[in-house]
Structure 1
Amino acid sequence: MEAYILVEVDIYDNEVYEEYKKLTPDSLLPYGGEFVIRGLPVQALEGEWKHDRMVLLKFPSREKALEWYNSKNYQEAKKIREKASSANFFIVG
């Protein structure tokens, strides 16, 4: 069963965040991950949207999604992201 990772991001250093964005696509490939949504604009139809960016990733399974998140390549990219932003990650599926 497919799994999705939804990410809400608040960016406070755009230059450093751009470095992170360059690393993420290649980190997804070994796990069959792909971007479904990457960026803006987000328009709230109900409720409120209070974040700078939304990302939705699709994986062939929950196991592959978790393998990606815990992988060495992504964890190295994550360190860069944490210098530039705060984020909430959610897995569904």
Structure 2
Amino acid sequence: MTAPAYLIVEMDISDPERYRQYMAEAPAVVKAFGGEYLVRGGRHETLEGDWQPHRIALLRFPSFAQAKAFYETSDYATRVKPLRDGATSFFDMVLVEGVDQPV
């Protein structure tokens, strides 16, 4: 069994209209690679530590390889990702492999 993979994103949206253009296109590319949004904004609270995220998104993919393929695909990299340019003051993303089976 292949472990799922997760893209964890923290961002600060500085131009909501431009970001809406990005979000109008991104979900179809995410879905084409087997991905799904688990979190897209929403209420959050820091329970421990000093992290004070502005906005969080969490996406799940069937595998690390599929998540990498999504990110590196020409459709996302050359058409969709540039729609985000100027829409956020920062956009931090990390890819992490999940576990095969929950403990």
Aligned partners of 2:34 and 2:62 also within 8 Å: yes
1:38-88: CA deviation from partner (whole Å, max 9, x where unpaired): 112121111234333110000000000000001122122111112201211
Aligned-pair identity in percent equals 35
Task: Name stretches of at least 5 consecutive residues in structure 2 with no aligned partner.
Answer: 98-103
Q: Provide the C-alpha distance between the structure 2 equivalents of 1:45 and 1:70, rounded to a whole number of angstroms.
A: 34
TM-score normalised per structure 1:
0.91
Aligned to 2:11: 9
Q: What amino acid maps onto 1:17 in structure 2?
A: Y
Q: Provide the C-alpha distance between the structure 2 equivalents of 1:84 and 1:22, rounded to a whole number of angstroms.
A: 13
Aligned partners of 1:31 and 1:64 also within 8 Å: yes
Q: What amino acid maps onto 1:53 in structure 2?
A: R
Task: Name stretches of at least 5 consecutive residues in structure 1 with no aligned partner.
Answer: none
Number of aligned residue pairs: 93
Q: What amino acid maps onto 1:80 in structure 2?
A: L
TM-score normalised per structure 2:
0.83
Aligned to 2:48: 46
Aligned partner (choices 78, 84, 94) of residue 81 of structure 1: 84
Larger Rg computed on CA atoms:
2
Aligned partners of 1:3 and 1:62 also within 8 Å: yes
Per residue, is there more helix in 1 or in 2?
1
RMSD over aligned CA atoms reads 1.2
SS of aligned partner of 2:86: helix
Aligned partner (choices 27, 30, 42) of residue 28 of structure 1: 30
**Runs (4+) off by over 6 Å:** none
Aligned partners of 2:33 and 2:67 also within 8 Å: yes
SS of aligned partner of 1:69: helix
Answer yes or no: is 1:92 the counterpart of 2:96.
Answer: yes
